[in-house]
Structure 1
């Protein structure tokens, strides 16, 4: 976070023609969820660092798993007055699977990343499984639980199983992360991939054991990481929240918005707020975010025939 902040350059002290009016920020999910909280949390600070006195106005636009909002952002005029949030790989998977969508993520003007949630691989606490090696030693297909085919959880499970060299069967159809995580607790499945906010309470009681974490976690120091497993690309499966704008964004608007977001994410007051409510940011610059999208797409494309 400090290195990110030190790299910033500011233009907020000088007059700029942009913005001259309020900016609409499309949130492609309903109000009240984690995605909504992240975006609404950063907007007052981003507004603080704009060179002119205008408002950033959030607008929730749920529908079609986020595609409705993503399409609205993509089709907006590239003048900087409509930007929005993107959920990856959720919005990437329809493109990779050949579904018809009205946006192209490779053409989005990326402004930066807000946060990421790295998956945890969990087994039932009573299962005796404490490592990936234990899973391999079972000598039978490993049952993963997940939401429906085409979902982020399903895709991540398929890819992780293949990268880990596991003969796996993914049981789908669970309604949401809590449902498929509970299925592992009950013994309906052997393992599941889930974000820490879905797993923490079960790990604390011993109902679940975290056997691998796609990044080093102080909460689960014994969990194996991708580097320790010899598969560093596993970390590309992360769930990410990005801010982006339409293709071919006006150059002045792009500069102003990128700098406002970067300065906001380095603001100590925002950092304290995010940590106090358990929603830590994991910022990437515009260039880093664009590269990250490219890398994540490459990984999912590699396994698209199995999804």
Structure 2
């Protein structure tokens, strides 16, 4: 699946064109007052960083003030609940932690929102995963791990990363043991380098920034895109596992249920124009923060596919310690 299609890129550019011809006048059409942008984490994290630059640029382009509102807790659930229960009047916009808001549903927990009723506007970034081993590892492919005929140890961090590890093992057919307890992804990667485990499933961006010294070897990109930091790593689709390209952390944006078509279109136009702006491109380059736009329809399709995979492999046993 090519997540950012030519059609999607054309749509983003078209929205930018609309911005040039009339988005500044849109301020007259917005509800009076500020727009709250709910961010489901504390200040300083990834969701906060993306949310604040978007709020800044959308505010500059529309003449409407987008006010960041950090509502942390529950792995993004408190923020999702606040956004979901807000009035559908165009005065509440939100960042959603995906797959964070999916995982409690998979566990069978009762949640105060319905993912299918959220008005999805699009996403700023889709941070996919990669499987890495130490540079001197005898394993050079995911098939090598499968052919080992023994339990393969992984280091792991974070609920989303552990879920991706579980799905990888279930889909490929590897008996896995995941070593947890690391304070962050970099620490989990350091564990692979020093021999705590054979491999790790980690975000591509994390692996790329960690691997400046060449201590890691990539054996599978859980993506369908070329990654400059790992030019020789096989892609999941080429390796026979295209479903793995649907996994990753998504910086998703949406509105409460039941907003009007007019409000939805207004946000889609402003969102697309902000992502296509020169200021956004400069920010992405200077901070090495990938901006990887998805339309609302593409985002919803990706969420559905992630949910399907998480449900299918929720009972796969990977073991942990």
TM-score by length of 2: 0.88
1:244 aligned counterpart, secondary structure: strand
- In the alignment, structure 2 segments of 5+ residues that lack a partner are none
Contact map agreement 2:153 2:178 (CA 8 A) in 1: yes
1:157-190 CA-to-partner distances (Å, cap 9, x unmatched) read: 0101122222222233333322322221221111
Q: How does 1:184-263 map to 2 (within 5 A)?
A: 184-215=192-223, 216-263=226-273
Contact map agreement 1:115 1:281 (CA 8 A) in 2: yes
**1:159 correspondence with 2:171:** no
**What is the alpha-carbon distance in structure 2 between the residues aligned to residue 299 and residue 49 of structure 1?**
38
1:228 aligned counterpart, secondary structure: coil
Residue 6 of structure 1, aligned match among 6, 9, 13: 13
- In the alignment, structure 1 segments of 5+ residues that lack a partner are none
Question: Post-superposition shift, 1:201?
Answer: 4.4
1:15-63 CA-to-partner distances (Å, cap 9, x unmatched) read: 553232210001111111222111111212222343xx32000011111
Moved over 6 A (4+): none
Residue 138 of structure 1, aligned match among 131, 148, 162: 148
Question: Post-superposition shift, 1:145?
Answer: 1.9
Q: Which residue does the alignment assign to 1:17?
A: 29
1:242 aligned counterpart, secondary structure: strand
**What is the alpha-carbon distance in structure 2 between the residues aligned to residue 200 and residue 163 of structure 1?**
25
**1:94 correspondence with 2:104:** yes
For the aligned residues, what is the CA RMSD? 1.9
**What is the alpha-carbon distance in structure 1 between the residues aligned to residue 79 and residue 56 of structure 2?**
21
**What is the alpha-carbon distance in structure 1 between the residues aligned to residue 134 and residue 103 of structure 2?**
29
**What is the alpha-carbon distance in structure 1 between the residues aligned to residue 262 and residue 60 of structure 2?**
18
Q: How does 1:6-155 map to 2 (within 5 A)?
A: 6-8=13-15, 10=18, 12=23, 16-50=28-62, 53-147=63-157, 151-155=159-163
Aligned residues: 303
Q: Which residue does the alignment assign to 1:300?
A: 310
1:226 aligned counterpart, secondary structure: coil
